[in-house]
Structure 1
Amino acid sequence: MSFAEFGGPDVLRLVDAEEPHAGPGQVRIAVRAAGVNPVDWRIREGQVLGAHPVELPSGVGLDAAGVVDEVGDGVEGVEPGDRVFGEGTDTYAEFAVLSAWARMPGNLTFEEAAGYPSVVETALRVLREVGVRPGETLLVSGASGGVGSAVLQIARDRGITVIGTAGAANQDYLRGLGALAATYGHGWTERVRRLGRVDAALDLAGSGVIRELTELTGDPARVISIADLDAPQLGVHFSGVAGDIRAALTEAVDLISRGRLHIPVDKSYRLDEAASAHIDSRAGHTRGRRVLVV
Structure 2
Amino acid sequence: MNIKLYTILIVALAIFSACDDQIYPELDDAPEILVVDAWVTDLMEDQVVRLTKTAPYFENTATKGVTGAQVYITDDQGTSFDFVDQGNGNYVWTPATSGFGMVGSDYVLTVVAEGNTYTAISTKNRVPKVDSITFEYNNDKTFGVEEIYYSAELWASDLGGLGDQYWIKTYKNDVFLNKPSEISLVWDGGFNRSSTFDGEPFIPPIRQSINPYDTNEEEELISPYLDGDKVYVEIHSITEAAHNFLSEVQIQTNREGGFGALFATPLSNVPTNIENTTSEDLVVGFFCVSAVESKSAVLDESQVPKDE
Same fold (TM over 0.5): no
TM-score category (smaller protein) = under 0.3
Q: Which has the higher strand share?
A: 2
- For the pair shown, the structure with the greater C-alpha radius of gyration is 2
